[in-house]
Amino acid sequence: MSSNTELREMSDEQLDATAKEAAQTLFRLRFQSQSERLNTPSEMRKNRRLIARIKTIQSERQKAAS
């Protein structure tokens, strides 16, 4: 996935798009975990952490702007 430095270099629009993509992926993974077996259960954790990183960066930018 993306490292913290890569995420920090992204624009706000790119971060929003990455967050939406990660949320959609997480939704699909949750659906798969309930209906069938996941091949890689660690992907759910990776996506949750990616979303958390993005939200942290966005909140830091909002605090810096105000």
pLDDT category at 1 given cuts 50, 70, 90 is low
Q: Which of 24, 23, 43 is nearest to 33 (CA)?
A: 43
**Model pLDDT, residue 8:** 92
**Model pLDDT, residue 20:** 97
- Convert the pLDDT of each residue in 7-54 to its tens digit: 999 999 999 999 999 999 999 999 999 888 888 889 999 999 999 999
CATH code, domain carrying 33: 1.10.287
CA distance 46 to 35: 20
Q: What is the pTM assigned to this prediction?
A: 0.87
pLDDT category at 3 given cuts 50, 70, 90 is confident
Tokens 């959609």 belong to which residue?
24
Residue 39 to residues 14, 43, 45, 56, Cα–Cα distance (Å)? 29, 9, 13, 29
Residue 19: give the domain boundaries.
4-65
Query: What is the count of structural domains for the chain?
Result: 1
